[in-house]
Amino acid sequence: MTKIILATTSPYRIEAFKFLGIDFIAEGSEVDESRAERKDPEELVKMLSGLKAEAVAKNHSDAIVIGMDSIGCFNGKILEKPESKQEAFKRLKNLSGNKFEFYTGIHIINTSTQATTSKIVKSELLMRELSEEEINQYLEQDPRHNTYALGFNPLEKVSSSFIAKLAGSYNNVLRGIPLEVIPEMLLEVGYKL
């Protein structure tokens, strides 16, 4: 049977993918995202998810490889991962009370048939007004402030109350994988669920 390979080493994506009940393995793509030109967010996630899938696919002759990439965007500017607690604080302060977007690109390759499919999922979020005390409390609670493109984890602790409204894929924002589109995309490349 054709194996499913998730082209990531992200523990959050790996854990989330398990919810689908599909056997898979995870394999890092080693794609250097820092060299990607920062352009339109949709073009960027499409390009990076494709590069990640292709990098892993070249090592397998009978597999279905799933590459993904996610980014946040605020006022037309791509949000890089905060590199310090101070930068994360500034990010959250700027987003407080504002709308922003979260994009995930997914690219799937069936290496035995060369069938491919791609999709971009966009979620729009509204953050409630945050006090400086709340932001500091979160940053003290969660030392992984730099693991999320948006600088906070909407699943845990104080930050679970940050989002006032969400339009689009809930899984896209909370899990980094819009799980609801994966089964249909797998069917498109010939995988029998």
Residues sharing a CB contact under 8 Å with residue 171, sequence separation 6 or more, in sequence order: 16, 177, 178, 179, 180
50 vs 35, 146, 190, CA distance in Å? Answer: 15, 24, 18
Rounded to an integer, what is the distance from CA 178 to the centroid of its chain?
8
Check: CB of residue 82 under 8 Å from CB of residue 150: no
Partners of residue 125 on adjacent β-strands:
100, 166
Length of the chain: 193
Rounded to an integer, what is the distance from CA 126 to the centroid of its chain?
18
Report which secondary-structure segment, H or E, holds 183: helix 182-188
Which residues are catalytic, by number?
69
SS3 (DSSP) at 106 = strand
